[in-house]
């Protein structure tokens, strides 16, 4: 009766194969096939290691200055130059080599006096500064005393430094990593598992904190007659943090 009857067994067989393979013979065109279940995430632990090193400075930088006011710029400059020559000579007498003394500032500018809404030129100010570098920290106070006695009327700051800074930062980094691994092992032991390989590391280098002694105001001339200025270098601090993710076995 129907010309296509002879194809019916083949059509039934194709439908059975579809069902056995898990596919649907009829599915909407926009229906996504189900994805295979995701693999279980790798077990891991994230810890933060910290290290702080306190290091004694081995170098000091002292900035000393002279400030002179005179009616003319030439006179102001001449006075400052004469005082600076005596200042440098006094520093050399403290055993500081030429390489340890450098000019760090020189300026000349008009000095005004204000009266109500008017200003009047009263002269010119010359300021000159030198920076002294020494590794003999015990002599820092004596250097300042000698400079003030020679005419220095400004001490702009003292900074204590560590020459081999990279070596101390490396040591702090190694200690921070060791601290992170120690924490991970303690937690893993409590959980009954073992620490595997590190899979991620982030370094938070907070750098160093150098002790700085700053004198904002100009020192009075009679300081030279007082007892020696005590100068305490303190310590420099190096801080490092690392965040490490370890796999767990």
| DSSP code string of 27-49 | --TTPPPPPPPPPPPPPEEEEEE
Ordered mean pLDDT values, 10 residues apiece, the chain (249 residues):
43 36 42 42 87 90 95 96 95 93 95 86 95 92 93 90 87 93 94 91 74 43 51 83 92
Domain ranges of the chain: 42-56+163-211+227-249, 59-161
CA 171 to chain centre: 16
pLDDT at 42 (0 to 100): 73
User: How many C-beta atoms surround the C-beta of residue 176 within 10 A?
Assistant: 24
Residue 85: CA atoms inside 13 Å, Cβ hemisphere, count? 5
Is residue 205 within 8 A of residue 174, CB to CB? The reply is no
Helical spans, DSSP H, in 62-149 = 73-92, 140-149
Taking only the tens place, the pLDDT of each residue in 169-197 is 889 999 999 999 999 999 999 999 999 99
pLDDT at 210 (0 to 100): 58
Residues 6+ apart with CB under 8 A from 46: 200, 243, 244, 245
**What pTM does this model have?**
0.64
Gyration radius from the chain CA atoms:
38
Residues 6+ apart with CB under 8 A from 137: 57, 58, 59, 60, 160, 231, 233
How close are the terminal C-alpha atoms of the chain, in Å? 72
User: Residue 12: which H helix or E strand, with range?
Assistant: helix 8-20
Tracing tokens 């009679």 back to the chain, one arrives at: 222
For domain 59-161, which CATH number applies: 3.30.540.10, 3.30.70.2970, 3.30.450.370, 3.20.20.450? 3.30.70.2970
CATH of domain 42-56+163-211+227-249: 3.30.110.170
pLDDT at 64 (0 to 100): 95
């Amino acid at each position: 009766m129907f010309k296509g009857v002879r194809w019916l067994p083949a059509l039934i067989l194709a439908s059975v194969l579809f069902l056995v393979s898990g596919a649907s013979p009829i599915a909407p065109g926009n229906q996504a096939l189900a994805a295979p279940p995701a693999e279980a995430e790798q077990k891991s632990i994230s810890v933060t290691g910290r290290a702080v090193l306190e290091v004694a400075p081995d170098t000091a930088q002292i900035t000393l200055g002279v400030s002179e006011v005179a009616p003319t710029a030439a006179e102001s400059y001449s006075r400052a130059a004469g005082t600076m020559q005596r200042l440098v000579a006094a520093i050399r007498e403290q055993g500081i080599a030429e390489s340890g003394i450098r000019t760090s500032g020189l300026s000349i500018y008009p000095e005004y006096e204000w009266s109500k809404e008017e200003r009047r030129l009263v002269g010119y100010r010359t300021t000159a500064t030198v920076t002294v570098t020494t590794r003999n920290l015990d002599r820092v106070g004596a250097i300042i005393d000698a400079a003030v006695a020679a005419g220095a009327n400004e001490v702009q700051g003292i900074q204590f430094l560590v020459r081999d800074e990279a070596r101390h930062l490396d040591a702090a980094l190694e200690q921070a990593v060791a601290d992170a691994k120690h924490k991970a092992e303690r937690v893993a032991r409590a959980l009954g598992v073992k620490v595997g390989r590190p899979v991620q590391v982030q370094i938070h280098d907070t750098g160093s904190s150098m002790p700085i002694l700053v004198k904002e105001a100009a020192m009075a001339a009679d300081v030279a007659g007082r007892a020696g200025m005590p100068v305490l270098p303190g310590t420099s601090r190096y801080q490092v943090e690392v965040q490490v993710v370890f796999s767990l076995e």
